[in-house]
Chain A
Amino acid sequence: MHIVVCLKQVLDPEISPRYFKIDPKTNRPEDGSSDMVMDSYAENALETAIQLRDSVEGATVTALCLGDEETEDVLRRALAFTADQAVRVWDDDWEDLDGQAVGHILAKTIIALGGADLVLTGYQASDIEEGLVGPVIAEELGNSCVTLVSELAIENSAFRVTCEAENGYAIIDVPSPAVLTIVSSEKNVPRLPKVKDIRLSRSKPIKELEADDIELDFERCQPAVSLERVYVPNRDVACEVLTGEDGMELAHELAGRLLELKVL
């Protein structure tokens, strides 16, 4: 079984709004405003992939990332998680892609890699938060797709997934090949890589592919939507910090303010 997990490098989402600024020339966050990290849902997807690989004899995990050289950190981390192979696909013309174009390129890259029995992505990335890439890959590959998956197992040769549904959860059997988008759960908390695996990850090769190595549809590589403007709204609320000597006094103050505001 070949499992491909699609990873993304993002600006650390925990950057304080205080330090978050947009460069008006590039419409992107200003350089140096924070570290670049592996997107957290992508990390959940990677953990899910590794756990499944370890439970199925002969299964392999390929970590795939669309990005320039800087994104190799994400792939090294995936190798430290014990991914079997790391692949980076990039072309200098791909600076301003949207989720649909990324989905197209990733799907075609997966085909160039010989296909996959299972493709995992994070449910959405914490920068642009479109939630489109997984479903687009599924449609491009003609695979079935389940989104918002929190648990994954194999049952009677189908993937048995637990996913969020209206008013609760659903358990769904989905045949291979499939695309799943992953959310965080108690079962896929990312592991802490072993020192040995981190060391090994530094020397493992990263396979590089370019636009010419895959059969792309030029039209579908163009962004379907363009970002025209970005702005940071001033949304700070003037927080009224209550004062008091102890918990009792603070509770008294708070109860009084809530009643005054007529929110109860």
Chain B
Amino acid sequence: MANVLIFADQQGGSLSSYAREALAFGNLISVATNGELGSVLFGPGAETGAKETIACGASKAYTIGSPLVEDYQVEHYLDAICAAFIQSGSDILILPFDRKGKDLIGRIATRLSASAITEVVDFKAENGELIWVRPIYGDKAYGEYKSNRKKIVVGIRVKSQEQAVPDENRSGEIIPVIYTNQNDIVVAKLVEKIENSLAGIRLEDARIIVSGGRGLGGPEGFEVLKDLANVLGGTVGASRAACDAGWVPSNFQVGQTGAVVAPDLYIAIGISGASQHLSGITNAKTVVAINNDSEAPIFKRANLGVVADYKTVVPALSEELKKKLGIKVG
């Protein structure tokens, strides 16, 4: 038996999509191990989120309502998550390996002498042991890992799981955790937060993404991509090479260190398909590659391929789709 605790982050007064993924994953583990599923929630809205996690399968929801954890502050989050994990007596702590997870997992595991494993996409229960599955070598291979310590902190790859479906008939217990650490543990001070300058849809939420790479030859190529994205009601992304070249801001970057995306349609234009880019689009449903190099690795991942100079195809595609989709020109 292994009890599982999920760190359930909230966004806009409701559970984040990543928290719902973590809850679904945690449910599967607790069923496989005959364990109990718990959740931990932060901030003044913790009680509302706690009820949501119970509807999503948690039998115990630990809440820390302290204003110290209202906004993300790494040192407080570290302390508070460790406190809740200890109080819950759980064996497995699960966090999404998102922006916060990247800060927290290694430090929580070190602090609690637990093991840590990140970018987990699946698990297996074998002979009473849990085996954690994660991609390695830029998604070229999968590794199966076993923990050598009693407690483990697991970071799950975002967008790798289905989200938990709430059932309001489920019941559970809400347990407040007292967290009274002092403000003076805050060592890194936020000076300014700059919201993404991308107009429209966030890459992570986009249903259609038109992405450009080094093959565009310069920043002006992105104007052509913007036209196509507008026609499709999608958003524009870019490869790391295009961002590093300064053609578009780095918040356009799709890939392992940029946005991990899962759109219905991903159109890769002038993108060769470096492994770190491919890891970011693992869960894209349909991938279209437009590239004049027929040997580009992106064609191994694409469902539809066009081997041609994008300048001859993309503007014509925008025009064709405008006609077919009944969008008025201009």
Which chain A residues have a beta carbon within 8 Å of chain B's beta carbons? Answer: 11, 13-17, 20, 22, 27, 29, 41, 99-100, 103, 123-124, 126-136, 138-140, 144-148, 150, 160, 164-175, 178, 183-186, 189, 222-233, 235-237, 239-242, 244, 246-248, 250-252, 254-259, 261, 263-264
Contacts and interface: CB of A to CB of B under 8 A. Distances in A.
Contact of A239 (B149, B191, B305): B305
Contacts of A123: 102, 257
Given A174-B187, A255-B317, 5 more contacts: A126-B137, A132-B106, A172-B188, A186-B246, A225-B117
A260 B100 CA distance: 40
Interface stretch (B40-48, B50-58, B108-116, B162-170): B108-116
B257 A184 contact: yes
Interface of B: 72, 74-75, 97-100, 102-107, 109-111, 114-119, 131-132, 135-138, 140-149, 152, 187-197, 202, 208, 232, 240, 243-244, 246, 250-251, 256-257, 264-265, 274-276, 285-289, 294, 297, 299-309, 311-314, 316-317, 319-321, 324-325
Contacts of B137: 11, 13, 20, 29, 126-128
A263 B264 contact: yes
Given A13-B138, A13-B276, A129-B138, A100 B109 contact: yes
A134 B106 contact: yes
Given A173-B191, A237-B303, A250-B313, A225 B115 contact: yes
Interface class of chain B by DSSP: mixed
Contact of B308 (A140, A166, A247): A247
Nearest to B274: A14
B240 A263 contact: no
B299 A173 contact: no
B321 A255 contact: yes
Contacts, number: 271
Contact of B191 (A171, A231, A246, A251): A171
Contacts of B193: 165, 168-171
Interface class of chain A by DSSP: mixed
A247 B305 contact: no
Contacts of A139: 106-107, 110-111
Nearest to A183: B257
16 contacts: A11-B137, A17-B140, A29-B137, A128-B136, A132-B105, A147-B103, A167-B195, A171-B192, A185-B244, A227-B145, A247-B308, A247-B316, A251-B316, A254-B317, A258-B304, A263-B264
Given A138-B107, A167-B202, A173-B188, A129 B256 contact: yes
Contacts of B287: 237
B141 A224 contact: no
B75 A144 contact: yes
